[in-house]
Amino acid sequence: MSESVITNIQQARLAALYEVSSQLGSSLDLTEVLNQVMDAIIQLTGAERGFLMLYDEVSGQLRLQAARNVDKEKIESHAMQISRTVVERAVATGQGIVTNNAQEDERFASQQSVVGYQLRSIMCAPLKARGRMLGAVYVDNRLFTSVFEAADLELLLTFANQAAIAIENARLFTQTDQALARTVEELSVFQRIDQQLNKSLDLNRVLSLALDWAISLTKADGGSIGLLEFLDEDETKPALRLLVHSGDQQDGGERLVPTSHPVLAQVLTNGRPVFTHNVTPEQSIDGTPAYAQQAVPIRRDGDEIIGLITLESHDPGALDEEDMAFVERLADRAAVAIKNARLYEDIAAANQAKSNFISVVTHELRLPMTSIKGYTDLMTSGMVGDLTDQQKQFMDVIRRNLNRMNTLISDLSDINRIESGRMKFEMKPFELQGIIEDVADSLQEAIAGRQQTLTLDVPGDLPLIYADPNRVSQVVGNLVSNAHKYTPDGGAIIVRAGQQDDFVEVAVIDNGMGISEEDQAKLFTQFFRAEDQEVRQQQGWGLGLSIVKKMVEAQAGEIWFSSALGQGSTFTFSLPINKG
Ligand code: ADP
């Protein structure tokens, strides 16, 4: 054979190889890639039929993945025993095989099924990628149709190498794709869990939610969540208190698990989850036997163990490594929610303590103050002897300070009652005009004392509002009193009311000192008062506006203001009109 002839044949083969190879890699879908490979092999080798087998990742067995002109049943049948043996040999040796008479080929002649086997020309190439044996491709022909030669095998082997890489890529992609889908799925589950957990600040509710999620997503039969606590004041006797449970142990009562419990002790010592099979009552956290039990620590800030999530199952198939990993991640989420719920409990308890303290103090102060006021009034009246002018002055100072203290006490107890929900609102329909006029009357003297004017602009035909008249009077009184206090002598105050949709709005307008932008942001917070000397000259505790706001809001209204420093302020509140 001349060199040019060989070259021609080689060129034709290379061209075919190039053509089929170029199709590879166009897809990352495993099934599509396998079909492409199978078609390419038939095209390349001109084989009558063929198939492709890959190792199954889970079982480790060779499994048929694609076939041409031969069906699955046939491949598994006795008649194709030889073909399977050829494939097994190719993957075992990692070498390509070409044989034109399997019956006489010593590699296969020992096979019983060779007897009666229709003679065929067989070719098989292992599929290897990145040093890993993936499987093999097999093709054959009836002997009289055509016979495979060494050069055909070479071509098949070259193509098999490229095909194996394409298959491996598609497989990796599918795996990554599946892993990604799992991660995305888990993230969205955790997003829902976080939302639910963070919505609640009630510890037991948080624990129940976490347990429900753990059970439903791992398909466990039941479980419990317990938190570690000390049984004594010296904090020497820790124990796990099971606060929520579901499943077998349903007596509802809280159970204490000593830290000497074998499984709990192991978790506490190693800081790792403990998986137990064939759980005896002694090993079980909740005392009930099960097939499997997972005990996963809950850690505060990923460190100190504060509790335990335990899941149990009677089904040998349930609760695997993946579940454990999931519950560990869930435990981290639960830890944050537990921390928040506990903080909230602490704050609620501190608030309660503060509220109790204020109740006691205001109550205890009222009594002696009434008595001081009684004696000062008695002395001022001259009934117990004449007072010198200086003594009268001192009595005035005492009385003014008593008034200051009285306002503080009544403000504090108002705030306390509103915050603890103990303030009673006697809601009823009434006319605003009368209330506003009463307030104006009561403040008239003080206003006139500073040459200020108070103008009422309250239409007589305003609809009735639905609120507590005493509280509304307190609100108007407070706002008008502020307008009076924070407006220089000779200033003007206007109270204007009008209907706005389903509300009546009342505006208290002054042309006084106004409030700086910086201070405006702090308005309505307790004890806030502007630093201004003129403000500080006026009596006050900085509690009025915060009480007013709470009262208005408690009666389904709103309050807002506008103000410019040196020009004046307008405070407006709304209250619903009577619908009844
Ligand atoms: P108090 O009057 O006892 O200080 P408030 O809560 O009623 O308490 O008011 C808080 C602060 O808001 C006042 O100290 C003052 O600085 C400012 N303020 C309230 N009303 C006005 C107003 N009409 N004009 C200017 N400043 C005001």
Per-residue pLDDT of the chain (580 residues; tens, 9 = 90+): 444 455 666 677 677 777 777 777 677 788 888 998 998 898 888 888 999 999 987 788 899 999 999 887 877 777 777 788 899 999 999 999 998 876 677 777 665 554 445 667 899 999 998 888 999 999 988 877 678 888 889 889 988 988 888 888 888 888 787 777 777 877 788 888 888 887 778 888 889 989 998 998 888 999 999 999 998 888 888 999 999 988 765 555 678 999 999 999 999 999 999 999 999 999 999 888 889 999 999 998 778 899 999 999 998 778 888 888 889 988 988 888 888 888 888 888 888 888 888 888 888 888 889 999 999 999 999 898 999 999 999 999 999 889 888 888 988 889 888 888 888 899 999 999 999 999 999 999 999 999 999 999 999 999 999 999 999 999 999 999 999 999 999 999 999 999 999 999 999 999 999 999 999 999 999 889 999 999 999 988 899 999 999 999 999 999 999 999 999 999 999 999 998 7
Q: At 208, is the secondary structure helix, strand, or coil?
A: helix
Task: Give residue 434's pLDDT.
Answer: 93
Ligand 1: atom nearest CA of 513 is 25
Distance 395 CA to ligand 1 centre (A): 28
Contact 476, 493 (CB under 8 A): no
Beta carbons within 10 angstroms of residue 198's beta carbon? 14
Distance 447 CA to ligand 1 centre (A): 16
Among protein residues, the one whose CA lies closest to atom 21 of ligand 1: 482
Rounded-to-integer distance, Cα 94 and Cα 218, Å: 42
Distance 112 CA to ligand 1 centre (A): 106
- For the four alpha carbons of 73, 74, 76 and 78, in that order, the dihedral sign comes to positive
Best residue among 476, 515, 567 to mutate for probing ligand 1's pocket (most ligand atoms within 8 Å of CB) is 515
- pTM for the predicted model, two decimal places: 0.53
Contact 39, 68 (CB under 8 A): yes
Ligand 1: atom nearest CA of 514 is 25
Distance 353 CA to ligand 1 centre (A): 29
Looking at the chain, how many residues does it have?
Answer: 580
Among protein residues, the one whose CA lies closest to atom 3 of ligand 1: 540
Best residue among 480, 482, 495, 513 to mutate for probing ligand 1's pocket (most ligand atoms within 8 Å of CB) is 482
Distance 482 CA to ligand 1 centre (A): 6
Among protein residues, the one whose CA lies closest to atom 9 of ligand 1: 542
Each residue of 508-544: b (16+ CB within 10 Å) or e?
Answer: bbbbbbbbbeebbeebbeeeebbeeeebeeeebebbb
Best residue among 486, 493, 509 to mutate for probing ligand 1's pocket (most ligand atoms within 8 Å of CB) is 486
**C-alpha distances in angstroms, 285 versus 165, 273, 274, 275, 331?**
50, 13, 11, 12, 17
Beta carbons within 10 angstroms of residue 156's beta carbon? 27
- For the four alpha carbons of 510, 511, 513 and 514, in that order, the dihedral sign comes to positive
Best residue among 520, 525, 529 to mutate for probing ligand 1's pocket (most ligand atoms within 8 Å of CB) is 529
Ligand 1: atom nearest CA of 530 is 16
- CB hemisphere CA count around 17 (13 angstroms): 19
Ligand 1: atom nearest CA of 543 is 6
**Lookup: tokens for 165:** 């890489």
Ligand 1: atom nearest CA of 483 is 23
Ligand 1: atom nearest CA of 508 is 23
Distance 486 CA to ligand 1 centre (A): 7
List, chain by chain if needed, residues with CB within 6 Å of any ligand 1 atom. Answer: 482-483, 486, 510, 512-515, 523, 528-530, 535, 540-545, 569
Distance 64 CA to ligand 1 centre (A): 85
Among protein residues, the one whose CA lies closest to atom 8 of ligand 1: 542
Among protein residues, the one whose CA lies closest to atom 14 of ligand 1: 529
Among protein residues, the one whose CA lies closest to atom 25 of ligand 1: 514
Among protein residues, the one whose CA lies closest to atom 12 of ligand 1: 529
- CB hemisphere CA count around 462 (13 angstroms): 28
Rounded-to-integer distance, Cα 276 and Cα 397, Å: 79
Whose structure tokens read 């394409």? Answer: 166
Strand order in the sheet with 304-313: 255-258, 238-246, 222-230, 304-313, 290-300, 274-279
Distance 209 CA to ligand 1 centre (A): 46
Distance 529 CA to ligand 1 centre (A): 6
Rounded-to-integer distance, Cα 228 and Cα 219, Å: 26
Ligand 1: atom nearest CA of 524 is 6
Distance 485 CA to ligand 1 centre (A): 8
- For the four alpha carbons of 197, 199, 200 and 205, in that order, the dihedral sign comes to negative
- Crossing angle of helices 150-199 and 203-218, in 10° steps, is 160
Task: Give residue 316's pLDDT.
Answer: 78
Go through the domains of the chain in sequence order and give each one's CATH number: 3-174 (3.30.450.40), 203-329 (3.30.450.40), 349-419 (1.10.287), 428-576 (3.30.565.10)
Distance 443 CA to ligand 1 centre (A): 17
Best residue among 522, 545, 546, 550 to mutate for probing ligand 1's pocket (most ligand atoms within 8 Å of CB) is 545
Distance 539 CA to ligand 1 centre (A): 10
